[in-house]
Amino acid sequence: MRKKIERRISVSACLALSLSAGTVWSAGVGDTIVVHTSRGVATFLVENANVGRAAASRVNADMAGKDGVAPPPTPGYELTSKVVARGTRQAMNAALGRLRAPVIAVPVEGAPSYVNIEAGTIAEAAALAASLRGAGFKDAVVDVRRPMPLRSIPTDPGLAQQWHLINGVTPVADVNIEGAWNLGYTGQGVTIGILEGGFETGHEDLSANYHAAASQSGGSATSHGTACAGVAGAVGNNNKGGVGAAFGAKVSQLIFGSESQTATAFGYKNNLNFIKSNSWGPADGGFIASISGVELDAIRASVESGRGGRGTIFTWAAGNGGSIDRVDYDGYASSRYVVSVGAIGDEDYQAYYNELGSAHLVVAPSNGNNLGIYTTDVTGAGGYSTGNYTPDFGGTSSACPLGAGVVALMLEANPNLGWRDVQHILIESARKCEPFNSQWVQNGAGYWVNYKYGFGAIDASAAVGLARTWDNVKAESAETSGLREVDAAIPDNNSTGVTKSATIAADFSIETVEVVLNVTHPFVGDLQITLTGPSGKSSVLATKRNDPTDNYSGFVFTSRRHFGENAKGTWTLAIADRAAQDTGVWVDWQLNVYGTRGCFADFNGDGFVNGNDYDEFADAFDLALPEADLNNDGFVNGNDYDEFASAFDVGC
């Protein structure tokens, strides 16, 4: 104990002079402390800054609305004595030596580009993060556990018995899983990690499928986690409760926490955990919420190296913010590395809480029209219901593990699928739910897409059918515009705004598009942001809303709406300030486009170049369909015919 106290004194002494005004802290019970976090500098009310871990509330003086009134402090945070920093262990320890800080850096498990540094107390961690940033380590932050709203929405009671799997009233509105089951696919050999606060691993309808060796210790038997585990992988044919979508799969327990703890869960035993289901995310208030660097690094490493290099599959609840939020503002669910899953209800239309967004991939059945989801619950009276099951689960919290269960069936059918193949198959097999909804539009490649539903509802049988014979997509292609300086004032309360362009020279088929944005503005909710591709098709990335956040600082917007379009050509980004009072400057932006270099001549995508492709292209050409616009210039004409003919002659 004595050495521990001495070390704390030593760290404080060597760093005290290096504290900036932004990180001044006051010691004692009921402290106010200003710290660097992964989402910028923030002020917290913390129970005691002189301990290693303590509950805290964020002070929201910087989140005042147009009326000048700031929201009350947000509870539910936990500050720690750890600093998470980007850099090699050697470089970080050298910097710590120069600062004369008697601490060492250790790698963050699962996030190879980051290290953890134990400073001793919360206050010393705040000081150390500031010192490291002053020494040139820009990504050095206090390891914070944020409130993690769980994405389920209790509704009025209803007697529903797994209509999401087999819907006898509105058959089209279920996930169409019977065909996959009838082929014998149940998720056998696949483990789904339920990543949150824990679940009841000994539940009568889960214990037989629980994979202890793939699980992390800790956590608790939460109702939310238990319900999610049941939707994905409740045991089948045991005369108890219902079944999971992948009732032959295993389920493991992975525990979120602070940013570095969550990063470790993302990277935990990816040789066993093929899928990781995440039914949580930032608060659903319409505020931008970046993913931290350490968490993103762990996800990126997992999709690159997990599952023997094929990639761990991350499914993510798209959010329950309804009309006041968009999945685009959520740095987790909008990431190109994850399968974002929104929600439709038992009548096949949008659940009332389902968010809009250009980052939507697919939706899956949940509550939100009339009926809830029947699934496992904490045993006895301690859960959502008084028994061992609940009929009232829902939200995108339920849609997400349902999607994970379907992916388990796909991986059983074809274990060689890569993480990008899974996304391709879900898009190609998606069903056009609420087909007469006015927001359905065809993109420049002919895919139907909707801000409510992404590419549509998951169709388990169709997805498994495609997976069985799927040829993996080629290696990922990536092109960037490079950083585009703008430095232009954005006119206040002006719908015209500022428009800038960037050109992508490479010719390939798009999977996802990212916009990395830097704007200085005291109220980002004023800004409408729209990206338009060479095809002339647009992606709305942000709309006017009540978000008083200062600035877009390297925020990454992601769109999937350009899937299948040609990347080549001129892209435009338009930013307009749609409310009076606050003004800002568009500093710079960068466009990143990811996809696959394809073969124009394989027009029907069956892997062969033959007369069938010629006939199908000719039909599309005669009708001037969007998919016949091979050069993406907005016209179907002789230039497209020449491109097809050239590719056809050489067999690609």
Q: What is the pLDDT of residues 445-458, one digit of tens each?
A: 999 999 999 999 99
Does residue 441 share a domain with residue 298?
yes
Model confidence at 14: pLDDT above 90: no
Domain boundary among 555, 570, 596: 596
Domain boundary among 451, 468, 485: 468
Q: Alpha-carbon torsion 640, 645, 646, 652, what sign?
A: positive
Question: What are residue 476's phi and psi, to 5 degrees?
Answer: -65, 135
Residue among 130, 126, 140 at smallest CA distance from 92 = 140
CA atoms of 376 and 195, how far apart (whole Å): 16
Greater confidence (104 vs 483) lies with 483
Would you state the pLDDT for residue 266? 98
Kindly indicate the confidence band of residue 29, based on its pLDDT and cuts at 50, 70 and 90: very low
Would you state the pLDDT for residue 2? 26
Would you state the pLDDT for residue 66? 84
In a domain, residue 60? The reply is: yes
Share of the chain above pLDDT 90, in %: 72
Does residue 369 share a domain with residue 314?
yes
What does pLDDT average to over the chain?
90
In a domain, residue 162? The reply is: no
Report yes or no: 190 and 412 within 8 Å, Cβ to Cβ: yes
The domain tally of the chain equals 4
For 80-107, what is each residue's pLDDT tens digit?
999 999 888 788 888 888 877 778 888 8
For 369-419, what is each residue's pLDDT tens digit?
999 999 999 999 889 998 899 999 999 999 999 999 999 999 999 999 999
Does residue 590 share a domain with residue 488?
yes
The domain that holds 407 is classified in CATH as: 3.40.50.200
Does residue 640 share a domain with residue 564?
no
Model confidence at 633: pLDDT above 90: no
Would you state the pLDDT for residue 19? 38
In a domain, residue 150? The reply is: no
Kindly indicate the confidence band of residue 571, based on its pLDDT and cuts at 50, 70 and 90: very high
Would you state the pLDDT for residue 282? 93
Does residue 182 share a domain with residue 111?
no
Q: Per-residue pLDDT averaged across 17-32, rounded? A: 48
Model confidence at 15: pLDDT above 50: no
Kindly indicate the confidence band of residue 151, based on its pLDDT and cuts at 50, 70 and 90: low
Does residue 211 share a domain with residue 320?
yes
Does residue 422 share a domain with residue 562?
no
Does residue 180 share a domain with residue 280?
yes
Does residue 343 share a domain with residue 307?
yes
Question: What are residue 186's phi and psi, to 5 degrees?
Answer: -130, 5
Range of the domain at 79: 2-145
Would you state the pLDDT for residue 149? 76
Kindly indicate the confidence band of residue 239, based on its pLDDT and cuts at 50, 70 and 90: confident
In a domain, residue 606? The reply is: no
Would you state the pLDDT for residue 49? 93
Decide the pairing of beta strands 105-108 and 53-59.
unpaired
Domain boundary among 468, 485, 516: 468
Which residues, 6 or more positions from 545, have their beta carbon under 8 angstroms from its beta carbon? 286, 324, 525
CA atoms of 163 and 176, how far apart (whole Å): 10
In a domain, residue 88? The reply is: yes
In a domain, residue 155? The reply is: no
Which residues, 6 or more positions from 78, have their beta carbon under 8 angstroms from its beta carbon? 53, 54, 55, 56, 144, 145, 258
In a domain, residue 181? The reply is: yes
Does residue 340 share a domain with residue 415?
yes
Does residue 116 share a domain with residue 240?
no
Does residue 274 share a domain with residue 336?
yes
Would you state the pLDDT for residue 652? 67
| Segment among 141-145, 224-228, 284-288, 633-637 with least mean pLDDT | 633-637
CA-angle at 541, arms to 256 and 627, nearest 5°: 110
In a domain, residue 629? The reply is: yes
Share of the chain above pLDDT 70, in %: 92
